[in-house]
A = this chain, B = another copy of it.
Amino acid sequence: MESMMIIVLKAGVSEADETRVLNEIESRGYSVHVIREGGRVIIAAFGKEQTPQTLEALTSWPQVEKVTPVQKRYKLVKRGTPQERTIVRINDHVSIGGNAVHLMAGPCSVENEKQIMTVAESVKASGATILRGGAFKPRTSPYEFQGLGEKGLKLLDKARKATGLAIITECLSEEHVELVAEYTDIIQIGTRNAQNFQLLIAAARTGKPILLKRGSGMKIEEWLLAGEYILNSGNPNLLFCERGIRTFETYTRNTLDLSAIPIMKKETHCPIVIDPSQGCGSAKLVDSLCIGAVAMGADALLIEVHPDPAHAWSDGPQQITLEEFARLSSAIRPFLTAAGRTLGHIG
C-alpha cells in the first residue's frame, strides 16, 4: 500500500543523527525529501509498505520528534468520486444503497413462533422489507438469555417464507458462520465483534451481504478498516451500521453519532444504516432519531420492535411496540420525501 510519511526531527539534532535517520528510511525503499529551515529538519518519505515494518516505529529513536502518516489507510471501502456508490443486493426483491430507504424491523431476540410471526406480519404491513431477530445473542452476563440458536434461525426462516421479508440476524462465532449463512439474507456483525477480524473474514467468505456495526469504542477510521477486511476477503456486499458510541453521558445507553451519516457518505461508497434502538437504549427516543437519520441520508434503519416489550426476553426498554412502529413508519414519510428518497418495498 502507498505510504507517505512526514518525519520531524528534534530541534538541534547533529548531522550524524540526521544521516542515520535518512539512511534508515532509504534502506526501507522509501524515496526521501529533506526540508531544512531555521534549524529544523523535516523529512517527507514516499514509498510502499512492503515489509511488516512501518516508519512510525522511528518515533522510538531519540532524535525523532514526530512521525505522521499522510495517506488514508483504507482503499477498497474508499469512495473514489462523489458519484460512486455501491448498491447491495439483498435478494431478488430488495437492494440497499439506492434511492429507496429500507426498514429492518423485528425483536431483539426471537422468542417463539407466535412472537416472530406476529412481528413479521405486522412490520411488513407497516412497510418493513427486512425482518431482524436475534438467534444467537451476545450478552454482557453469562446469566442472561443467550438466544434460541438454530431453533431461532428456523423460526426466522419460517417467517420469511410466510411473509416474503428478507432476514437479518447476528452471527457471533466463526463456528456458526455456515449455519447462519444458510438461513439469513444478511449476516449482522455486532458491536462487540466489530474488530473480531477472524469472524469478519469467515462471514465475508460466505458471500452473503454483511452488516457491520460500529464498535461502541471505535473511531470512524477503524470502522472503515474493519470494513476493509470484508472487501479484502472478496465480498463487496457491505453495509455499515452506526449504533451508538460510548461516551460519558449516562442519560442514554450510548450516544448515537448521526454525524457518521455524512462522514460515511464522504468516505465510503458502501451504504450506511442506522440502529437507533441500540443507539440510545430508550424506546422513547427512537422516533426522533429515525427521523433525523432519514433526513440526513441513512440508507436503511434497523429498529427493535416487539409485540410486548415489557415481557421481552432481552433489551425490553429499547424496543417499540407494533403500533409504535406503524406510527413511526408513517412519521418518517414526509422526511423521506423532503430528502428526495422513497420508502423501500419488496419487488
- How far is it, in angstroms, between the C-alpha of A234 and the C-alpha of B309 when the chains are bound? 34
The residues in A between 287 and 341 inclusive whose CB is less than 8 angstroms from any CB of B are: 287-289, 291-297, 309-314, 316-317, 319, 334-335, 337-339
Question: Smallest CB–CB gap between A43 and chain B, Å?
Answer: 10
Note all chain B residues with C-beta closer than 8 A to A138. Answer: 195, 197
Task: Tell me if A255 and B251 are in contact (CB < 8 A).
Answer: no
Task: Tell me if B217 and A198 are in contact (CB < 8 A).
Answer: no
Task: Tell me if B309 and A57 are in contact (CB < 8 A).
Answer: yes
Residue A15 lies at the interface, judged by CB distance under 8 Å to chain B: no
Chain A interface residue count, Cβ-Cβ cutoff 8 angstroms: 113
Interchain CB contact (< 8 A) of A259 among B58, B193, B226, B255 = B255
Question: Smallest CB–CB gap between A337 and chain B, Å?
Answer: 7
Decide yes or no: A57 and B311 within 8 Å by CB, A175-B175, A225-B140, A257-B249 being known contacts.
Answer: yes
Give the contact stretch, choosing among A45-53, A90-98, A99-107, A153-161: A45-53
The residues in A between 64 and 92 inclusive whose CB is less than 8 angstroms from any CB of B are: 66, 68, 70, 73-74
Interchain CB contact (< 8 A) of A251 among B141, B143, B221, B316 = B221
Decide yes or no: A74 and B141 within 8 Å by CB, A195-B192, A311-B53 being known contacts.
Answer: yes
Nearest residue, chain B, Cβ from A56: B317
Residue A8 lies at the interface, judged by CB distance under 8 Å to chain B: yes
Task: Tell me if A285 and B262 are in contact (CB < 8 A).
Answer: yes
Task: Tell me if A70 and B66 are in contact (CB < 8 A).
Answer: yes
Note all chain B residues with C-beta closer than 8 A to A335. Answer: 295, 335, 338-339
Question: Smallest CB–CB gap between A6 and chain B, Å?
Answer: 5
1/0 per residue A29-68: CB within 8 Å of B?
A: 0010101011010101010010111101111110000101
Nearest residue, chain B, Cβ from A276: B259
Task: Tell me if B296 and A288 are in contact (CB < 8 A).
Answer: yes
Decide yes or no: A57 and B24 within 8 Å by CB, A197-B138, A288-B296 being known contacts.
Answer: no
- How far is it, in angstroms, between the C-alpha of A283 and the C-alpha of B57 when the chains are bound? 11
Note all chain B residues with C-beta closer than 8 A to A151. Answer: none
Residue A174 lies at the interface, judged by CB distance under 8 Å to chain B: yes
Decide yes or no: A248 and B285 within 8 Å by CB, A53-B311, A228-B142 being known contacts.
Answer: no
Residue A241 lies at the interface, judged by CB distance under 8 Å to chain B: no
Note all chain B residues with C-beta closer than 8 A to A258. Answer: 256, 258-259, 289, 292
Task: Tell me if B228 and A141 are in contact (CB < 8 A).
Answer: yes
Note all chain B residues with C-beta closer than 8 A to A199. Answer: 173, 196
Decide yes or no: A35 and B37 within 8 Å by CB, A6-B68, A319-B60 being known contacts.
Answer: no
Note all chain B residues with C-beta closer than 8 A to A309. Answer: 57, 60
Further 4 A-B residue pairs, CB within 8 A, beyond A52-B111, A140-B195: A4-B8, A52-B144, A138-B195, A247-B257
14 A-B pairs within 8 Å (CB atoms) are namely A4-B40, A52-B313, A60-B317, A142-B232, A175-B175, A193-B195, A216-B217, A245-B255, A252-B259, A255-B257, A262-B287, A262-B288, A291-B295, A292-B296
